[in-house]
Amino acid sequence: MASLPATATAPTYEELQAVVVSLREELARATAAPSTLAAGASRAGTGAEVLARARAQTSMSAEVVDWNPYSRLMALQRMGVVTDYERIRTLTVAVVGVGGVGSVAAEMLTRCGIGKLLLFDYDTVELANMNRLFFRPDQAGMTKTSAAAATLAVINPDVAIDAHHYNITAPDKFDDFLDALQSGGLAGQAVDLVLSCVDNFEARMAINQACNELGQDWMESGVSENAVSGHIQLMIPGRSACFACAPPLIVARKGDERELKREGVCAASLPTTMGIVAGLLVQNVLKFLLGFGQPTYYLGYNALSDFFPSMVLRPNPGCDNSACRARQADWAAHIAAHPEDDTQLGAPPPPPPAVAPQSTENAWGIVIECDEGEEERSQPTAGGDAELVPGVRPAYNPDAPPTNDALAPRVDAADLDLDALRAQLANM
């Protein structure tokens, strides 16, 4: 338990703030601990009991009942959208950057029932973050990873969460980052996908380097400095362009991105744009990992014109990243040995197999029968006066040729002057 330093003078504001942050982090760890939840259930018997029981669910039930958090997700499987939705419980996703996009993406994956999340961030929650989604004012001062882990554990305690509070670009932390990606899966294997939700090029290049070295699939995302555009991008080492294949100009020039910052001006931030980009990102994650629909390799978003450009970026044979070139060579060797795997990037997936009906039983005894004479009434008739259904007749016979009687009176203009024509029109 955190305590104030034993001094003769009153504690300073900084010391009090440090104690508050420490207490909040202890509370977050206690909230996420299953033993604490079970103990709270025995004492309170209300909300904590629900959480403790929910954590015991090891599989996804398709039963349609109010207490089942997975019934509407499993409906995707019943409707034939996804072949095996429950496979998501075996998957691990690493989210690098738990900010405006990353925190929302982590929440969406948690609600979707992902098996495990790895969270990476070195920053703390600030009141300046409250214009975004997810974080709460009472979490100010906590590390973003611990605050996110506590919130996500309450939303879905079935999800395993590993929080890593460090900067992946630090020289002494890059190897730790590599190790986490290699062994952070549910069974100690590599993660299934890495999501880049960072806000600087240095961190993106670090993720790019790690994923190229490991041959790890990943997705990159970002929101513009003016907060009205964004993008997502899928990167498969060796098959699609990495971040260094077509880098931003400041990166290509080996410059310092801090030169782009204007003195006294902070980047704009809209929760709407960040929420949209996070939604597009996680939608692409689900399609890619669960094998339904067509994952996009690049999708942009311009809020000012509602423009969504999409394209496929192929790897650059002259990429500056040696690991990227090595992955390209590996893929070329694989295709030489297995030409059947040489599918075009962005090609539509094969149609899903037909889904058999869940049940052929007619528990309610519903029978469809034709009423007597219904078949005769359904046949088209040539007569304009025939009844379509009892009491309803057509306004006209569409098969009958037009007659002069149905037309407006014709005017022969050959024998009339202009004044006579005007008078005729006035009387019509």
Predicted confidence (pLDDT) per residue in 148-185, tens digit: 999 999 999 999 999 999 999 999 999 999 999 999 99
Query: Rounded to 5 degrees, what angle do the CA atoms 154, 158, 163 make?
Result: 70
For residue 230, which phi and psi values (nearest 5 degrees)?
-165, -175
Domain that holds residue 99: 91-341
Whole-angstrom Cα distance, residue 197 to residue 207? 10
CATH number at residue 213: 3.40.50.720
Mean pLDDT of the region 20-29: 72
pLDDT at res. 63: 82
Q: How many Cβ atoms are within 10 Å of 62's Cβ, its own excluded?
A: 16
For residue 259, which phi and psi values (nearest 5 degrees)?
-65, -25
In-domain check, residue 393: no
Burial class (CB within 10 angstroms; exposed 0-12, middle 13-18, buried 19+) of 262:
exposed
pLDDT at res. 257: 61
Q: Which residues contact 168 (CB under 8 A, 6 or more apart)?
A: 96, 120, 174, 177, 203, 206, 207, 210
Whole-angstrom Cα distance, residue 240 to residue 234? 8
In-domain check, residue 379: no
In-domain check, residue 346: no
pLDDT at res. 379: 53
As a dihedral over the C-alpha atoms of residue 413, residue 416, residue 417, residue 421, rounded to 10 degrees, the angle is: -70
Per-residue pLDDT of 31-56, as tens digits, reads 554 433 333 333 333 333 344 434 54
* Catalytic sites, residue numbers: 266
Q: Per the structure, how many domains does the chain have?
A: 1
**Predicted model pTM:** 0.70
In-domain check, residue 40: no
Q: How confident is the model at residue 98 (pLDDT cuts 50, 70, 90)?
A: very high
The CA-to-CA distance between both ends of the chain, in Å, stands at: 97
pLDDT at res. 422: 78
DSSP three-state, residue 278: helix
**Residue with more model confidence, 79 or 193:** 193
pLDDT at res. 233: 95
**Residue with more model confidence, 400 or 355:** 400
In-domain check, residue 418: no
Q: What residue type is assigned to position 55 of the chain?
A: R
- Contact at 8 Å (CB) between 239 and 217? no
Whole-angstrom Cα distance, residue 123 to residue 186? 26
In-domain check, residue 127: yes
pLDDT at 201 over 60: yes
Alpha helices in 236-312 (DSSP H): 249-252, 271-290
In-domain check, residue 281: yes
For residue 237, which phi and psi values (nearest 5 degrees)?
-50, 130
The alpha-carbon radius of gyration of the chain (Å, integer) is 32
pLDDT at res. 158: 94
Rounded mean pLDDT of the chain? 81
Mean pLDDT of the region 233-240: 95
In-domain check, residue 105: yes
